[in-house]
Amino acid sequence: MKDKVVIITGGTSGIGKACALAFGEAGARVVISGRDLQKLKSTAEELTQKQITHLTVQSDVSIETEAQKLVKETIAHFGGLDVLINNAGISMRALFQDLDLRVIKQVMDINFYGTVYVTKYALPHILKSKGSVIGVSSIAGYRGLPGRTGYSASKFAMQGFLEALRTEVMHQGVHVMVACPGFTASNIRNTALNATGNIQGESPRAEEKMMTATEVATRILKATQRRQREIIMTSQGKFTVFLNKWFPSLTDKLVYKVMAKEKDSPFKQIKN
């Protein structure tokens, strides 16, 4: 990673911020984007303290022109691009039957189209460097999660897009990877949208028992260096993917039970 240029979307908190620190400490020059200017400044201060060469770009990647601006400013500042980490994301939690459809559009715009837009403008430069395109996805990209229809759809879409892209560039030296952390201690559940599009606030899960964002970032760094095609980071996640492939009906029941046990679950467990 020495002197490699790495763009990290959603780089001001959680996994994105942890990636900025991990890749920066490995010698990379990092570019972090985010919508919140104050969070950008705060993260930049941390990177400066650790003597990590960096650039901050205030950008909402769900808007195509701002995604284009992010890549343009990166190239203008550093002269090239080696790694793109599509990390910007938002979640939602509500029954589909109760959901305002604008919530699904907002989730898709950030999680899926944000990935598409930045990748579109970054790809010509990554083709030159024979670098990496990475999508931070979720087990929800392998297995739909009840109460998170929009989030699951966005991650399925991201993974399908990146799988197709991987195949397109397989003879051009570009590395494409999907990283699936499983449940990670971050702010994504705190900022998840409810049925009406408002932020739910308190996380419904025990954050203290989850994998840390730092651990996730370290694994993403190592997997990028090894140019792996995918990485599923938890045993629970690997087991879920396996069960869903071979025993889908059983997985429906098990996933329902797990999600129904969440605090203030939007649906109640139905016993037959």
DSSP 217-258: HHHHHHHHHTT-SEEE--HHHHHHHHHHHH-HHHHHHHHHHH
| pLDDT in the model for residue 261 | 84
Which are the contacts of 147, defined by CB distance < 8 A and separation ≥ 6?
93, 94, 95, 259, 262, 265, 266, 267
Q: Which of 109, 127, 215 is nearest to 175 (CA)?
A: 127
Quick: pLDDT tens for 69-95: 999 999 999 999 999 999 999 999 999
Rounded to whole angstroms, what are the CA distances from 254 to 135, 181, 205? 27, 20, 17
Mean pLDDT of 198-225: 80
Residue with tokens 């001001």: 12
Percent pLDDT > 70 in the chain is 92
Start-to-end C-alpha separation, the chain: 54
Quick: pLDDT tens for 135-165: 999 999 999 999 999 999 999 999 999 999 9
Quick: pLDDT tens for 48-63: 999 999 999 999 999 9
Total-model pTM = 0.91
| pLDDT in the model for residue 205 | 52
| pLDDT in the model for residue 184 | 64
**Enzyme catalytic residues:** 151
Residue 241 has pLDDT above 90, yes or no: yes
Q: How confident is the model at residue 27 (pLDDT cuts 50, 70, 90)?
A: very high
Quick: pLDDT tens for 107-141: 999 999 999 999 999 999 999 999 999 999 999 99
Domains with residue ranges and CATH for the chain: 5-234 (3.40.50.720)
Q: How confident is the model at residue 204 (pLDDT cuts 50, 70, 90)?
A: low
Report whether 184 contacts 212 (CB < 8 A): yes
Is residue 169 exposed (0-12), middle (13-18) or buried (19+ Cβ within 10 Å)? middle
* Two tokens, residue 97: 């039957």
Residue 36 has pLDDT above 90, yes or no: yes
Q: Which of 163, 196, 7 is nearest to 86 (CA)?
A: 7
| pLDDT in the model for residue 267 | 73
